[in-house]
Structure 1
Amino acid sequence: MTIESISIPLSEPITRKHRHLSPSIFWSIRQGFPKRLSVLLVVMSLTVPLTVWTIVSSLQIIPPIFLPTPTAVLAAGFTMFTENNLGEDLLSSCSRVLAGFVFAAVIGVPVGLAIGTFHSMDSLLSPIVGTVRYMPITGFVPLIIIWVGLGEPSKILIISLGVVLYNIIMVADAVKFIPNEMINVAYTMGASRWDVLSKVIVPATFPSVLDTLRVNISGAWNFVVIAELLAAQSGLGFKIIQAQRFLQTDKVLFCIMLIGAIGLAIDYGLKWVARLMTPWADRVRH
């Protein structure tokens, strides 16, 4: 056998099967979505639960004392506005939520920036923030009464405590997601620490800070009901508790729906503000 007769089998060429995605409108991932279909889905998300509620309550599958009809809820709301001064309660709750949320933002945003920026602040503050975050705010209510009393400051403090820790954690995480390359480039160009903080970190995290505030304001509305347990004489939470005592489910549902409508309006309002203030940011999220 000669060398020429020895044949070395060559490996067969590897053929890869390319998988082609079939086009999809409903399940497309950030590839655009028809406006008409989006509007249709929004309408369905609102009308389907309302239709089910109307059918179940109208047929009295559930007794009216537990689930009144939508028309009964609206009628109860009209009565509360015209006869029970619900407008004043609405203003009281809005002022408490606004004061508590602003106080939580003034504290939470700078502390979150400090934790995310400096390892020293992370080591100093993260353990206490992470520990207190798991403590129920309702457990502090007796202490708040002893420390602050039963006036408006105690209600504002409860709302602030319910929101401020989440502001701190979410802002700190936003800072930590900034690529180190951005900071190193700033140092290379001769920036000081203050320049890096004010001209790199703060602008880069500002869109995330706005999103954090938008998300966490819902917590402020949740805690206003707890806050208005403290000898309150006005507020939506006070109205809910008062109606609950007399099994006035229609009034309870109307106050809950009113809080939801206010929260939805605030959410869309903050989204609009974010688009105006941060046009460079990618808003295709949340």
Structure 2
Amino acid sequence: MVKCKLLTPKAEIAAPLYVTLSALTFVLLGVIWSALTYSDLIPPMFLPPPDKVLKDGVLLFTEFDLLADIWASVVRVTVGFVLAAVIAVPLGILMGSLKVCEALVEPLLSFIRYMPASAFIPLFILWLGIGESEKIAVILFGTFFPLALMVMDVTKNVAHDLIDTSYTLGVSRLGVFRRVILPASLPGIVDTLRIAFGWAWTYLVVAEIVAAGSGLGYMIMQSQRFLKTGNIIVGIIVIGVIGILIDVAFKWLYARMFPWLGKGGR
């Protein structure tokens, strides 16, 4: 019976089992990593063993002020993401609610979102210089367009029956927007923001590749130049840990804001 439940689509499993399975994935990854490195199947220059990466991580935190690099990257990503969200969320809601807004804006956003943010770095440097504004602009640019389009899709998926019923009950157009569309789409918007924050972190190395003196992306690129593979892996792991913490925070916020939807989040 337990096996059948585990393989049943959409069926819930116990929280301890969920945590155990999640931890098992990381343990399995560590076992594979250890097997490949300690057996010398992969040279240390390409993939150092776990104990070497651990020593490099301790060294980075104690002697090379990795916390300052972490803070610099967190600030850049957060500012870029917040600026993108402040513009993209209202715009996406308008595009998902009003066909005239969708016709005016959606084709342009769909056109630009296929352009890689890295291709615009020379323009951002020309327009904004090589300071913090340029790095934040790369993250904003990479996050804004897909975020706006995903919010549009979430808003468009609000059931038409709810809107039609509201009009039947005499609710005004503005009232339908405020009392039906926004509340119905808000859970999906929060979940979309959680996913988009992950995208923002994927642009970090690209944003810090030019004229940066701090940040995780800068540290990773400097380590690559001097073949310090252990430092590169430490930087990647730190970004992953930060991502997990952000994801957990968004899921906690989702559960607190929308308790009737269960644990929520995709």
User: For 1:23 and 1:63, how far apart are their aligned partners in 2?
Assistant: 41
Query: Following superposition of structure 1 onto structure 2, how do residues 228-247 of structure 1 map, counting pairs within 5 Å?
Result: 228-247=208-227
| TM-score, normalisation: structure 2 | 0.96
Residue 206 of structure 2 corresponds to residue 226 of structure 1: yes
| Cα displacement string for residues 56-113 of structure 1 (whole angstroms, at most 9, x for unaligned residues) | 1112111111110111111101101111111101000000011000001001100100
* Residue equivalent to 1:184: 164
Say whether residues 1:150 and 2:130 are aligned partners. Answer: yes
- SS of 1:230's equivalent in the other structure is coil
Specify the SS of the correspondent of 1:261. Answer: helix
Q: Give unmatched runs, 5+ long, in structure 1.
A: 1-20
Match of 2:247 among 267, 270, 273: 267
Give the share of equivalent positions with the same residue, in percent. Answer: 38
Q: Corresponding residue for 1:167?
A: 147
Q: Deviations over 1:115-168 (max 9, x none)?
A: 000010010001101100111111111111111111111111110111111111
Distance 2:180 2:263 in 1: 20
Aligned-residue Cα RMSD (Å) equals 1.6
Q: Which 5+ residue runs of structure 2 have no aligned equivalent?
A: none
- Write the mapping of 1:39-118 to structure 2, written as runs, cut at 5 A: 39-118=19-98
> Alpha-carbon deviation of 1:249?
0.2
User: Are the structure 2 counterparts of residues 148 and 285 from structure 1 closer, same or farther at C-alpha, using a change threshold of 3 Å?
Assistant: closer
CA contact (8 A) 2:255 2:264 kept: no
Structure 1 position 276 matched with structure 2 position 260: no
User: Post-superposition shift, 1:229?
Assistant: 1.2
CA contact (8 A) 2:77 2:201 kept: yes
Q: Does structure 1 conserve the Cα–Cα contact (< 8 Å) formed by 2:255 and 2:262? A: no
CA deviation string 1:227-275 (max 9, x = no partner): 1012010000000000000000000000000000000110011100111
After TM superposition, the score normalised by the length of structure 1 is 0.89
Q: Aligned partners of 1:194 and 1:55: how far apart in 2?
A: 62
Is the helix fraction higher in 1 or 2?
A: 2
Superimposed CA distance per residue, residues 181-231 of structure 1 (whole angstroms, 9 cap, x where no aligned partner): 111111122212221111111111111011001011111111111110120
Does residue 251 of structure 1 match 2:231? yes
Q: Runs (4+) of structure 1 moved beyond 3 Å?
A: 34-37, 282-285
Deviates more, 1:30-39 or 1:60-69: 30-39
Distance 2:62 2:100 in 1: 56
Q: Give the secondary-structure state (helix, strand or coil) at the position aligned to 1:241.
A: helix
1:212 aligns with one of 183, 192, 199: 192
User: How many residues are treated as equivalent by the alignment?
Assistant: 266
Letter in structure 1 aligned against 2:239: I
Alpha carbons 2:251, 2:264 under 8 Å: kept: no
Q: Deviation at 1:282? A: 4.8
